[in-house]
A and B are shown apart, each in its own frame.
Chain A
Amino acid sequence: MVSQARKSELLFSGSDWDFAKLSRVYEEIEAIGVEELRLDIYPVQMEVISSEQMLDAYSSVGMPLMYRHWSFGKHFLYNEFLYRKGARGLAYELVINSNPCIVYLMEENTMALQALVTAHAALGHNHFFKNNHLFRQWTDAGGILSYLDFAKSYIARCEERHGLAAVEAVLDSAHALMEQGVFRYHRPPKLSSEQQREGLRERLEYEERSYNDLWRTLPPSQGRNKPEAADESLAERKKSLNLPEENLLYFLEKNSLVLEPWQREIIRIVRVIAQYFYPQRQTQVMNEGCATFVHYTLMYMLFDRGRISEGAMLEILRNHSNVVFQPAFDDPRFSGINPYALGLGMMQDIQRISTEPTAEDRDWFPDIAGRGDWRDTLLDAWANHRDESFVRQYLSPALIRKWRLFVLADGADEPHYEVASIHNERGYSKIRSALAQSYDVGASRPDIQVVDVDLLGDRHLRLRHNVKDGILLEDESRDATLRHIRRLWGYDVSLAAMDAETGATLSERSTKEL
């Protein structure tokens, strides 16, 4: 009798899905998620797509709308090649940080998989996007789709007016600097609303219309020629340039002397998109961990309540364990630390510490050990941390032992790797900080800043690369990228590598030598 009653409560049976089932499952999952895990989510828009459309989305950096550029075509071919060869499967879902939150579901998924994906993306990722402080502060979920729409049509219009080649050249150069096109420390200016953009465009058009070459021929005013005035204006200009500046694209957009207004706008578009993705790069472990933890917990809750059949649950668990599989370093399948596995592991560890702490946990985590309510702790962590701080705060000795983590020191000129720390008393905190360090996106990519430019002289743009731990730039790509900067700047550019600690100049490369 019991089994009969349970069967009738099943949310779905069989592996085929339809929209009625999807909707029923979503509602059940949302209800449990909000009630039991106290998740707070954007409204959801689910879109069913085919594998080809998934490849499309891959190649346009996962966005539903994107301007046209050859590099996306190249990435599409590359992804398609890997997919056709069977070297890589496609994701079951894709989720976009927008309001409403867009979740792509693959049509090939079985119903059980759709349920898993719904819990993972529509609840887990969605909650993270809405609540994590990085996303709240740095991205505008409500505005991104209309911004991309604007970007796409703006660039298409530019192509019509100025030709494909001219637009492509600007985009190529801007893409090369995408990594250096984000504000890492101070908050970026808000995405301007549509009205403001419209106003900006109108103003530019007005300026173009009312441009009169005659003004150029006016004789310079008398006062300008005095030397002290020139000094003053130089200092003023330098100050107004706000140097040093870490956001190269921002600097070029605002200060380049050779760019047309439309070229500046294109650079701005690339910069805004880079900035939009910056929080995602800093929260990979947390984002995936949060989504994985949510789907795992919710699926078990549904199963315990008899809403999912055993067969479906087995399928879900099989997929779940594929996703969180972490091979050891000497396994041929090893390709770095799996963010899904690390995130889930740490979050389940927090759950354990909150409910069944050991003496060691009480030592390491006096704040949360034995507090009982793991939900609060997790919600707080999801809201306030990024990968680097999350690992630094919550990676426990127990997990380090479980994973048997170790640190390998790698000096470029040594013939050997040296094992620096392993999972023992002395190693725990070192491993923890090394791992946290490796997730610090700001620290792990080259730190390149604009330090000086003499706008009144030869307009030579000087960049500085702060070399950390002796890690230099790769020559060939550095030269190619410098060429791109020169194209946007219009005058010579030089890049000096300076040791961050000693301040000694290690090398200098100028576009004059190229």
Chain B
Amino acid sequence: MPIFIDRRLNPKDKSLSNRQRFLRRAREELKRSIRDHVRTGRIAEVDREHAVPMPRKGTSEPTFGDAKDSGQRQHILPGNKSFSPGDLIPKPGGGGAGSSAPGTTESEDDFRFVLSREEVLDLFFEDLELPDLVKLNLKQILSFKPRRAGFTASGAPTNINVGRTMRNSHGRRIALRRPKQAELDAIAKLIAELESKPASPAIRERAAALRKELDLLERRRKRIAFVDPVDIRFNRFDPQPVPNASAVMFCLMDVSGSMGEREKDLAKRFFVLLHLFLTRRYERTEIVFIRHTHEAKEVDEHTFFYHTQSGGTVVSTALEEMHRIIEQRYPVAEWNIYAAQASDGDNFATDSERCIELLDRKLMRLCQYFAYVEIIDERESHIFGSTENGTSLWRAYNAVDGKWPNFQMRRIAAPADIYPVFRELFARQPALRKSA
């Protein structure tokens, strides 16, 4: 008799930790493919599963192996049809390349595997140097709150619904005709009365019958419990997503010639991070892309990132366009409005005044949060160490920054600089959560 063991119910993911070790090992290469993914993919789709090619660096397992192009070998093959000894057969691949017997090569070239959402985000965050707590926050998809949802027959003792349980018990007691204590008492009293009277055969008979009945009822009462496990009901709680209002995120970007590939890539990550934050907090998130040169226009994502347009730079047009769209489509009562603006800081000097006015008078009242990043050259980062000097837009926004707490601005030269822009936002998290 063999021993049978059903292993199908064993915990899954037995080789999960091997997988993690492997991903850690190939970290750099995977990070690069995620970077490409962020660059080419859509903002809203960054936090999805993603297939990546097999990393090569650091994951080879060398052993001593024969060089295919040396020495004398013999291949033994089945299925000879017309060969005789001494026949010469030209090698495939032409002349002396020494390929081995046919059909023995197997390439791992097109081998791709899927990274889960968690893993993709991990790699993405690592580049941005997010604090751990924030990472954890961002990875949560939704917050849940238990809601009452009827009753259930099983549950934790703390959740017993006494009223419902007693009602069931009562019904069952009636249905099964459980004798009441009062009935028993009445019969016992009757017996006592009979016994106190002078004994006569009729009375004795009557008392015996009553005693028998009392005994029967008592046994019946014992058999039918007052509260039976089948009566018990528990309150049922259903985890329900916390109802969040909708949010809209405005991406504003200067697309004039001075914004190159690198600038756009940094800008995109900046937008992605804000978007991740929003999708986690709000049930519905919309993104509006506004690009501008000397005039602003709402465009789709692809155009936003990949089409260049020539022209000057008038930032206020973008702000105006944003204001117009808010008035038209996103009433403040229903929408949380977030804006992220990326630029290299160029602007007409006179226009900067107009920007201050627009923000101060109109937009900052409507926006939950307005983040501005100025993308600078890495070589310039030390020059612009202090906040005082800078481009005209920077100086203008400095004034707004002082006045509005929900305005953030920052110069970024590398991916790691992006997160500090949002530090305020993420820091305010717990407070917001409490009020929600």
The answer, among B2, B59, B101, B104, for a CB contact under 8 Å with A46, is B2
Interface presence of B324 (CB below 8 A): no
* Contacting pair A74 B22 (CB below 8 A): yes
* Contacting pair A404 B80 (CB below 8 A): yes
- As a 0/1 sequence over residues 59 to 86 of chain A, the CB contacts with chain B under 8 angstroms (1 = contact) are 1100000001111111011101100000
Known: A77-B54, A405-B77. A46 touches B67 (CB 8 A): no
Number of interface residues of A (CB under 8 A): 103
Within 8 A of A (CB), among B244-288: none
Chain B residues in 8 Å Cβ range of A408: 74-77, 89, 101
Within 8 A of B (CB), among A11-25: 19, 22-23
Nearest-CB residue, chain A, relative to B60? A480
Stretch in B107-115, B137-145, B290-298, B386-394 touching the partner: B107-115
* Contacting pair A46 B3 (CB below 8 A): yes
Chain A residues in 8 Å Cβ range of B3: 43-46, 100
Please list the 8 inter-chain residue pairs (A to B) with the smallest Cβ-Cβ separation, ordered nearest first.
A328-B79, A471-B71, A73-B22, A73-B18, A480-B62, A470-B71, A329-B77, A70-B21
* Contacting pair B7 A53 (CB below 8 A): yes
Known: A77-B54, A329-B77, A478-B64. A414 touches B4 (CB 8 A): no
Most buried by A among B64, B66, B104: B64
Q: A316 → chain B, closest Cβ, in Å?
A: 20
* Contacting pair B22 A77 (CB below 8 A): yes
* Contacting pair A176 B96 (CB below 8 A): no
Secondary structure call for the B interface = loop
* Contacting pair B78 A404 (CB below 8 A): yes
Known: A329-B102, A336-B104. A68 touches B21 (CB 8 A): yes
**A-side interface residues toward B, CB under 8 Å?**
19, 22-23, 26-27, 43-50, 52-53, 55-56, 59-60, 68-74, 76-78, 80-81, 100, 104, 107, 122, 164, 168, 172, 175-180, 326-332, 334-337, 403-424, 426-427, 431, 434-435, 437-438, 445-446, 448, 465, 467-478, 480-481, 484
Chain B residues in 8 Å Cβ range of A332: 103
Interface presence of B90 (CB below 8 A): yes
> How far, in whole Å, are A383 and B275 apart by their CA atoms in the complex?
68
> How far, in whole Å, are A52 and B11 apart by their CA atoms in the complex?
11
The answer, among B8, B21, B71, B79, for a CB contact under 8 Å with A50, is B8
* Contacting pair A411 B72 (CB below 8 A): yes
Most buried by A among B25, B78, B89: B78
What are 9 pairs between A and B in contact, CB < 8 Å? A49-B7, A74-B59, A405-B76, A411-B73, A415-B90, A422-B83, A426-B85, A445-B64, A477-B64
* Contacting pair A448 B74 (CB below 8 A): no
Chain B residues in 8 Å Cβ range of A74: 22, 54, 59
> How far, in whole Å, are A246 and B379 apart by their CA atoms in the complex?
57
* Contacting pair A69 B62 (CB below 8 A): no
> How far, in whole Å, are A210 and B6 apart by their CA atoms in the complex?
48
Interface presence of B362 (CB below 8 A): no
Interface presence of B48 (CB below 8 A): no
> How far, in whole Å, are A326 and B83 apart by their CA atoms in the complex?
19
> How far, in whole Å, are A409 and B6 apart by their CA atoms in the complex?
51
> How far, in whole Å, are A467 and B420 apart by their CA atoms in the complex?
62
* Contacting pair A477 B62 (CB below 8 A): yes
> How far, in whole Å, are A179 and B18 apart by their CA atoms in the complex?
22
Nearest-CB residue, chain A, relative to B51? A81
* Contacting pair A481 B54 (CB below 8 A): no
Within 8 A of A (CB), among B1-45: 1-8, 10, 12, 14-15, 17-25
> How far, in whole Å, are A43 and B88 apart by their CA atoms in the complex?
54
The answer, among B74, B81, B83, B104, for a CB contact under 8 Å with A438, is B74
> How far, in whole Å, are A342 and B89 apart by their CA atoms in the complex?
26
